[in-house]
Amino acid sequence: MTDYFVHESSYIDDNVEIGEETKIWHFSHILSGAKIGANCSLGQNVNVGNNVKIGDGCKIQNNVSIYEGVELENDVFCGPSMVFTNDLTPRAKYPKGRAKYQKTIVGRGASIGANATIVCGHTVGKYAMIAAGAVAVTDVPDYGLMAGVPAKQIGWVCECGAVLDINLSCKNCDRDYPFLKGI
Ligand SMILES: [Zn+2]
């Protein structure tokens, strides 16, 4: 018995765990060893690599590949066609193998905009927001708002997604973030 949904056009390899109420839409492929939490949504043409861990409540938009070495904590949003990597210096002729894949961790509640790239070996902090088209080449602080190529921090973002004002307050939900400082 399954308590999740997989569209008939998608492939789920052996030895995969998928949580309750998760939905996997058209033309996607989940590779062996992957663990996907509950209440996730994976759009069209999503590839989840071997042994990848995805937490609960994640939303992965169309055309995203989550390669081995990447881990998503709970409630992560991956915008359409955003890109992960797992090798800083790839060569077709000299493959390094999985033992040398670089790790990338995306913290709880973080959002990655459409067409952004997260260069491997970095941590995206919890509730951080990466703007559309940005190329993140550094660690990203919790609640950090990053934009540009290469991505730089241009502000702070609330857990709810609104940009914080100069007093580190959210006008949308009244949360305050006095512990954040410096950019
Ligand atoms: Zn807020």
CA dist., res. 166 & res. 145, Å (int): 14
DSSP 43-107: -TT-EE-TT-EE-TT-EE-TT-EE-TTEEE-TT-EE-TT-EE-S-SS--SSS---GGGPPPEEE-
Q: How far is CA 156 from CA 5, 115, 167, in A?
A: 36, 21, 11
Helix (H) or strand (E) segment spanning residue 112 = strand 111-112
What is the 114 CA–ligand 1 centroid distance (Å)?
21
Ligand 1 center to residue 49 CA distance, Å? 33
Q: If you measure from the C-alpha of residue 162 to the centroid of ligand 1, how many angstroms do you get, rounded to a whole number?
A: 5
Distance in Å, CA 124 to ligand 1 centroid: 19
pLDDT of 1 above 70: no
Ligand 1 center to residue 62 CA distance, Å?
27
Distance (Å) from CA 180 to ligand 1 centroid: 14
The model carries a pTM of: 0.96
Asked whether 113 and 135 are in contact (CB, 8 A), the reply is no
Per-residue pLDDT at 165 exceeds 70: yes
pLDDT average, residue stretch 170-182: 93
Q: How far apart are CA 110 and CA 129, in angstroms?
A: 6
The single-letter code of the amino acid at 41 is: S
Distance CA 168, CA 10 (A): 44
Per-residue pLDDT tens over the stretch 103-139: 999 999 999 999 999 999 999 999 999 999 999 999 9
Å from CA of 157 to ligand 1 middle: 8
Q: Give the whole-number percent of the chain exceeding pLDDT 70.
A: 99
* Å from CA of 126 to ligand 1 middle: 14
Cα of 158 from ligand 1 centre, angstroms: 5
Residue 182 pLDDT level (bands cut at 50, 70, 90): confident
Calculate how far, in angstroms, residue 174's C-alpha sits from the geometric centre of ligand 1: 6
- For residue 170, the CA-to-ligand 1 centroid distance in Å is 5
